[in-house]
Structure 1
Amino acid sequence: MSGALRTEITQVPETSRPQAPIIHSDAEAIAVARALAPKLAEGAIERDQKRILPRAELDLFSSSGLWGITVPRAYGGADVSFATLAEVIAIISEADPSIGQIPQNHLGVVEALRVTANEDQKQRFYAGVLAGRRFGNAFSESGSKNAGVFDTKLVRDGDNYRVTGQKFYSTGALFADIIPIAATAEDGNAYLVFADPQSPGLTIIDNWSGFGQRTTASGAVTLEHVAIAARDVVPAYLGYEQPSANGPVSQIIQAAVDLGIARAAIHDTIRFVRTQSRPWIDSGQETAAEDPYTIAAVGDLVIRLHAAEAILALAGKAVDGAIADANIDTVAAASLKVAEAKVLTTEIAILAGNKLHELAGTRSVLQQHGLDRHWRNARTHTLHDPVRWKFALIGNHALNGVLPPRHPWN
């Protein structure tokens, strides 16, 4: 196969969505997220219970300009701090964590392009991102040896390529304008290749059945000899062969989703205890909110939440440092601080989802309230990578000076 391909991404595909505005500063990004969040929260319980995919809400989100806030300034973006990005994702995830999770891979790809793409690729793809176009993903595989192994193959076909494989956990693919695919080439290295969702041989299957994060559409993508233009192949392995912030960027977004889940669970705990829960018979109190054990438990949740928020902000600044000056030490520092944030956000998200029902009481489990979604979402989303390994990673560095391995989960 030679010459131009029908599937070549000469420009980012047009959509019926309005072009997104360009956000120019960190403060503007936070303000836009705060204004948008209540709109995304509307109907979140019903979407979760009935598994209604958030198509209209996602269009609203991507058309806000927030999906382009990490585009480098040289290409027209705000290049906001990753502390700001983490707060934006937490704000959106507090409203609906499925919607908050969907841009995670998109934002990871935006950062990967900074490190691994050539100038033509940066110009084309960043322009599309700023216009509001969405990357999905076809990265993970449920059948490979481990998360870092891609059995999907990229092979030469004349001047261009073909990609074949089976993907799962493909969050965002169903809603995407472009699907980046992780594949192993004949040289044994991992590449990102970019495909139009309508490409012949590319099939998106909405078969995500997880009990949490139910509307992320994190199902399967099958690839049968999908044609890929040579100019749409990016050497992703370079992002880990040399020091880069690609791994910490991917992980900090995951931590921010969990923080948003925790905030929502604690907010609903306080609201429910104040308005609907009854005091325990032995408390001698008139209201559940005056129960001293409940008061202490809520205090514990708030302290843990604030600790997670503080470490997440510090992690964002560490990621900024690794992007500004990528070397072994700055990238390791970012990985370690993000690992700390991942531990704390995981713990508070799961704890808050569980404590909600303990403190709010039996009536809090009634389906009409939809409060079980917080624990289900936390338990599901925090499985993206085992947080038990974060403790070991941090401890091994503190005790033995061992730097974290460089990959998308660190």
Structure 2
Amino acid sequence: MGSQTPNPIDHSAHPRVNSADPVPPRPLPAKPAHILADDDEAIRIAQELAADFAQGAALRDREGLLPLRELDLYSQSGIWSINVPRAYGGPGLSHATLARVISIVASGDPAVAQIAQNHIAILNVVDLDGTEEQKRRVFDWALQGLRFGNAFSELGGKTVTDFQTRVTFQGNDAIVSGEKFYTTGALLAHIVPIVAIGEDGAYLVFAERELPGLTVTNNWSSFGQRTTASGSVRLENLRVPRERAVKLRDEAAAPSVQGPVSQIIQAAIDAGIARNAIDETIRFVRTHSRPWVDSGRERASDDPYTIAAIGDLKIRLHAAEALLEIAGRAIDRGYAQPTLENVSEATIRTGEAKVLTTQIAIDATNKLFELAGTRSTLASHGLDRHWRNARVHTLHDPVRWKFYHVGNYYLNDAHPPRHPWN
């Protein structure tokens, strides 16, 4: 929580964000990650992690400290392999459970929660597009506790899907060159999956973090989600075994739930930000805020306008969480039977959830200061991080287009686009 004082941290052992100091590759895990038994265990572990992560969230944000210990706990918890199919040794839990678990973790620290987003989405991509050999290899890495970062997005293209990074094949090697940005998790990953374009389409190429030709730069300077280490990656004639290049299907031609899976994780993070902000508001109003002079009340928590505002925020949060549950179940159906109708429903339901989680995240983090009062803005409380995190993370993809696709689906029977940003 914002006013809690975490245990002292040795800053020399914790690299900072946007620092010129090198961050060496993280050591491989000493033991395999835990494998979740069922939904109840996944939720319980997420709650334990959220309570732990919350203790140092304000300090990490303020000082720009990378969450090394927290990330190790998180990736060993079993949550990072939550969607590995049971046939490959994983728990294969529902996407509704996935959304709830990510939301819980994000309520403790949304920056830590976001680092797992691409890892989990990548597992879904490999599940749908990989060969049997590739599935076994990648799923085994995840079950062993290896973390995947990402090297997807680029800064120079006309749109987010305009990739300039290229892959060529020579004998048994795949050779990759290009530059990436928004590479969440790559700095602290064990393996960096890279989207690259070959002569016959797009590939997802898996490379060890320490390989020659792969350089991760710790230059993430955003004012929110500061400790996600979402910097940049340079690829200079990077060579990996050819079998580690997963050929990606054309999502426009073959319906799949890749987009909704990626999107529901993003929406869940926003719901977690909102929940934490509302909880912080309630705590602060109860313990620190003064009643307004015109209210005639003895306590700020008895102010009728404050009471009504808290009621409004809670109702909208619960509506967003209910839509996350509905979207997760729709993704389950689209995953089991990837018909155009099922995939479109999953995409629309997830888009609806994304609209509500975006709105409540921004509104709750803004309302915090209005209801808690001027003293809530003091730096000692660190509450500004909630608004900064919400404002930055909800920019991942524009919700104004969600309204359009949802409306076009219901009014004109138009199937929504299929890509990771929808």
Select which of 251, 258, 263 maps to 2:270. 258
Q: How far is 1:14 from its partner? A: 7.5
**Secondary structure in structure 2 of the residue aligned to 1:155:** strand
1:131 aligned onto 2:182: no
Q: How far is 1:19 from its partner? A: 2.0
Q: How far is 1:66 from its partner? A: 1.1
**Secondary structure in structure 1 of the residue aligned to 2:228:** coil
Rounded to whole Å, the distance in 2 between the matches of 1:241 and 1:170 is 27
Q: Is the 8 A contact 1:17 1:63 kept in 2?
A: no
Rounded to whole Å, the distance in 2 between the matches of 1:159 and 1:194 is 14
Rounded to whole Å, the distance in 1 between the matches of 2:157 and 2:420 is 16
Select which of 287, 306, 314 maps to 2:299. 287
**Secondary structure in structure 2 of the residue aligned to 1:86:** helix
Rounded to whole Å, the distance in 2 between the matches of 1:32 and 1:89 is 11
Q: How far is 1:239 from its partner? A: 4.7
| Structure 1 residue aligned with 2:99 | 86
Rounded to whole Å, the distance in 2 between the matches of 1:242 and 1:16 is 37
TM-score, normalised on structure 1? 0.95
Q: How far is 1:17 from its partner? A: 3.9
| Structure 2 residue aligned with 1:405 | 417
The gaps in structure 1 that reach 5 residues or longer are 1-12
Q: Is the 8 A contact 1:319 1:334 kept in 2?
A: yes
Rounded to whole Å, the distance in 2 between the matches of 1:323 and 1:298 is 37
TM-score, normalised on structure 2? 0.92
RMSD: 1.1
| Structure 2 residue aligned with 1:10 | none
Q: How far is 1:65 from its partner? A: 1.1
**Amino acid of the structure 2 residue aligned with 1:177:** H
Q: Is the 8 A contact 1:165 1:222 kept in 2?
A: yes
| Structure 2 residue aligned with 1:41 | 54
Q: Is the 8 A contact 2:187 2:218 kept in 1?
A: yes
**Amino acid of the structure 2 residue aligned with 1:117:** G
1:119 aligned onto 2:154: no
Percent identity of paired positions between Structure 1 and Structure 2: 56
Count residues in correspondence. 397
**Secondary structure in structure 1 of the residue aligned to 2:380:** helix
Q: How far is 1:235 from its partner? A: 1.1
**Secondary structure in structure 2 of the residue aligned to 1:320:** helix
Rounded to whole Å, the distance in 1 between the matches of 2:31 and 2:53 is 18
My pick for the range that moved more, 100-109 or 36-45, is 36-45
Q: How far is 1:40 from its partner? A: 1.4
Q: How far is 1:228 from its partner? A: 2.2
* Aligned ranges 1:168-247 → 2 under 5 Å: 168-187=181-200, 189-247=201-259
**Secondary structure in structure 2 of the residue aligned to 1:225:** strand
Q: How far is 1:237 from its partner? A: 3.0
My pick for the range that moved more, 362-371 or 18-27, is 18-27
| Structure 2 residue aligned with 1:66 | 79
My pick for the range that moved more, 340-349 or 223-232, is 223-232
Q: How far is 1:190 from its partner? A: 1.4
**Amino acid of the structure 2 residue aligned with 1:356:** L
Q: Is the 8 A contact 1:116 1:238 kept in 2?
A: no
Relative to structure 1, the CA distance from residue 397 to residue 16 in structure 2 (aligned partners, 3 Å threshold; closer, same or farther) is closer
Q: Is the 8 A contact 1:93 1:100 kept in 2?
A: yes
Runs of 4+ off more than 6 Å: none
Q: Is the 8 A contact 2:29 2:144 kept in 1?
A: no
Rounded to whole Å, the distance in 1 between the matches of 2:360 and 2:248 is 33
The gaps in structure 2 that reach 5 residues or longer are 1-25
Select which of 371, 378, 384 maps to 1:366. 378
Select which of 276, 281, 298 maps to 1:269. 281
Q: Is the 8 A contact 2:169 2:242 kept in 1?
A: no
Q: Is the 8 A contact 1:108 1:246 kept in 2?
A: yes
